[in-house]
Amino acid sequence: MTAVPDAASSAVAAPARASGRPRLPGLLSLSLLGVPLTALSLPLVVMIPEHYATVLGLPLALIGLIFTSVRVFDIVVDPLLGAAMDRTHTRWGRYRPWLVLGAPALMLAVYLLFMAKPGVGPVYLLVTLTASFLGWSVLSLAQLALASGLAAGYDERSRVYAWLQFASLLGILTVMGFPIISAKLGGTGLPPTQLMGWIIIVLTAPAVALAAWRVPETTLVTQRHIVGIKAYLAVVGRKAVFRIAAIDLLFGLGFGTASAMLVFFVTAAKGLERSAVGVVLIAQVVTAMITVPAVAWLARRLDKHFVLGISGLLAAIVSVAFIFLPDHNLPAMAVGMMGWGLSFGAFNLLPRAMMADAGDELRLESGSDQTAVLYALLISSWKLGGALAVGLAFAALALVGYKPALLGANTPQAISGLEMVFAGPSAALFLLGAWLAFTYPLTREKHAAIRLELDARDAASGGPA
């Protein structure tokens, strides 16, 4: 791998990396940043397209083209952002400046995107959407990179990313539940899209300020950077790194394809009202929040990849079970979604903790700390899954002859086809991801040996402990 030393980094002080349990104030502060970030990610793909089509009058096909183009651009830019973060050296650290500068830019982009007035055109949507996605990427990458430095131990990283995942799920509940509560209390007088925009803006400022103030950051005394596409591909092609990204993509596609068909499955296949979709989604998220501590506990007693594999198997079984749920039965559908919730938290928590371990292996073998680049790869795999999921889901629906506009009036054959493509592809993707997880090469024992060598080398050079 091509790498070059960065002399500037030798002038930066290097606080010790936490080798034991990370301190609660920093961990809590960094976790809370996930609330506005997740609260933003859902409306960007659910509310904004519909709002710009029905309220602002942009053509639906044009909106779809803009979203796809921005997604592709975003996926390409993420690794570049990661590389830029890893190359940043200031007296405040590598990632903290990106938090502080990225927050106001994101808040401005959210304001312009969510508060748009009738008369705006496609260029306005393209610019504000691109800025919002980039701002989200900057803050998400900084959060994940900072989290990897809060703990060096195999087990403690499970705990760190469990906190982050719990806060992210809290963000989903916030974005789903606040409009309902607001309506019950008489409303705010704001349209739903503007209300969500203000919630995100109000939550972002204090969350970023708290994280920048309370979260410690490790800076290496000596640092080497990858240079060029070939070196980057060499990092991506490492066994552990590639395996984690592939697992993340497969599990994301599994949930993504089913989520794209969830409304049709709930209404047409199971005969429930559209309002039931929100209920069963909340059941899934609440279950995931409850089980996140249990996932972290299991990961500290078993290898993380083994727990992830078990979660994949469980999700595959639940996917098939959906076909056999009774019709017109909301509690049964909610129980099915709760079954998915058992795996949902693990699918987000464990790959991020595992990537921090893979970063240790990379740093030991190459002298290159590419934390932000590695997490940019994870974010890109998630975004790629989201970009592919809708297209794959609707292609599958067309293949079985299901017509979304007809809902329950589709033929019995089409309804049966809907059930099969809702459950079958997801189950297959979950099984493939589980197999990759069970055969993951970087075990607890191997990582312990890596940490011993890293800690000894860092102690000798005066770097992080």
Residue with tokens 């009058």: 57
Question: Where are the alpha helices (H) located in 185-329, listed in sequence order?
Answer: 192-214, 228-236, 239-260, 262-264, 276-301, 304-321
Query: Do 235 and 336 fall within a single domain?
Result: yes
CA dist list (Å): 244 to 103, 342, 355, 385:
29, 20, 7, 14
Q: Which amino acid is at 295?
A: V
Query: Do 91 and 183 fall within a single domain?
Result: yes
Helices (H) and strands (E) in the chain, counts: 16, 2
* Whole-number pLDDT of residue 243: 93
> How much of the chain is in helix, strand and coil states, percent to nearest 5?
80, 0, 20
Query: Do 215 and 231 fall within a single domain?
Result: no
Residues of the chain with pLDDT under 70: 1-22, 46, 60, 179-180, 182-188, 218-228, 390, 404-405, 407-408, 461-465
Range of the domain at 293: 227-445
Structural domains in the chain (count) = 2
- 280 falls within a domain: yes
- 332 falls within a domain: yes
Query: Do 42 and 111 fall within a single domain?
Result: yes
DSSP tag of 14 = -
Q: Rounded to an integer, what distance in angstroms lies between the CA atom of residue 61 and that of residue 444?
A: 49
* Whole-number pLDDT of residue 22: 63
- 425 falls within a domain: yes
Query: Do 235 and 213 fall within a single domain?
Result: no
Query: Do 215 and 232 fall within a single domain?
Result: no
Final residue of a domain: which of 183, 201, 219? 219
* Whole-number pLDDT of residue 462: 59
- Burial of residue 15 (CB within 10 Å: 0-12, 13-18, 19+) is middle
Q: What is the pTM of this model?
A: 0.79
CB–CB of 445/206 below 8 Å? no
Q: Rounded to an integer, what distance in angstroms lies between the CA atom of residue 235 and that of residue 284?
A: 35
Strand partners, 3: 226
Helix H or strand E encompassing 5: strand 3-5
- 451 falls within a domain: no
DSSP-derived 3-state class of residue 130: helix
Query: Do 281 and 329 fall within a single domain?
Result: yes
Query: Do 190 and 45 fall within a single domain?
Result: yes
Final residue of a domain: which of 154, 184, 219? 219
Query: Do 215 and 239 fall within a single domain?
Result: no
**Which CATH number goes with the domain that contains 86?**
1.20.1250.20
CA dist list (Å): 323 to 158, 319, 416, 419, 420:
34, 8, 9, 6, 7
Q: Hey, how many other C-beta atoms are within 10 angstroms of the C-beta on 121?
A: 11
CA dist list (Å): 76 to 71, 107, 179:
9, 23, 34
DSSP-derived 3-state class of residue 387: helix
* Whole-number pLDDT of residue 15: 40
Query: Do 142 and 93 fall within a single domain?
Result: yes
Query: Do 390 and 242 fall within a single domain?
Result: yes
DSSP-derived 3-state class of residue 227: coil
> 264 CB contacts (<8 Å, ≥6 apart)?
397, 402, 404, 407, 418, 422
Query: Do 331 and 436 fall within a single domain?
Result: yes
Final residue of a domain: which of 219, 238, 256? 219
DSSP-derived 3-state class of residue 7: helix
